[in-house]
Chain A
Amino acid sequence: AQSVTQLGSHVSVSEGALVLLRCNYSSSVPPYLFWYVQYPNQGLQLLLKYTSAATLVKGINGFEAEFKKSETSFHLTKPSAHMSDAAEYFCAVRYRGSTLGRLYFGRGTQLTVWP
């Protein structure tokens, strides 16, 4: 079965600390990968995406993610957390060869940033 797993439903960091949010996918063929962020009472906003160009992808707000085929992972990082980063983060995949375009989402990780 194809799936996306986000390890840790809640992550807490201090302001200025490294942010690491984990995402693993299950697929024999590397999919297209996305990270979205959801702020309270808002919709989902794209942070970054991997579509088989560079394996290290830079996104908005200082976030980046690295695609590692050997680990079937696409973890999201930010060197220094800011209070404004507090939100819920979703990893999503779209499987290659799919003409339907739907995204499969992980369960999300709630990021809390302490002052």
Chain B
Amino acid sequence: DSGVTQTPKHLITATGQRVTLRCSPRSGDLSVYWYQQSLDQGLQFLIQYYNGEERAKGNILERFSAQQFPDLHSELNLSSLELGDSALYFCASTDGRGGNTGELFFGEGSRLTVL
């Protein structure tokens, strides 16, 4: 158990819909990362938050947005869903303090299927 909790584990929805994925980082971790894993693209970095503020953006579509709340949990919002958005979405966390040699701790992911 990594200590990172993601909900829901599975989600099936239709094209055009909107979903929200939730992540609770490890206790004490300030940094949260979102990754998308798909067969054709592999593991793609989407976005990072640190202590409530956006720190870095990767290959995140404009239809997607995220935020980190004061209690440090994070949500990834996916809207106007397309078939190609079907993927496994991972949240990862790290304490983010001091040096950057530490690993990321990953949740078990949220599997999104868009029909």
Contact = CB atoms under 8 A, between A and B. Distances in A.
Q: Do A and B come from one complex?
A: yes
Interface of A: 32, 34, 36, 41-46, 49, 51, 90, 94, 98-108
Interface of B: 2, 4, 31, 33, 35, 42-43, 45, 48, 55-56, 58, 90, 92, 94, 96, 100-109
A46 B109 contact: no
29 contacts: A34-B103, A41-B108, A43-B2, A43-B4, A43-B90, A43-B106, A43-B107, A43-B108, A43-B109, A45-B106, A46-B103, A46-B105, A94-B101, A99-B100, A101-B31, A101-B33, A101-B48, A101-B94, A101-B100, A101-B104, A102-B33, A102-B58, A103-B33, A104-B45, A105-B35, A105-B43, A106-B42, A107-B42, A108-B43
Contacts of A104: 45
B91 to A, nearest CB: 9
A17 to B, nearest CB: 27
Contact of B48 (A44, A100, A107): A100
Interface class of chain A by DSSP = loop
Nearest to B96: A101
Nearest to B111: A41
B42 A108 contact: yes
A38 B42 CA distance: 13
A104 B33 CA distance: 12
Contact of B42 (A45, A46, A100, A105): A105
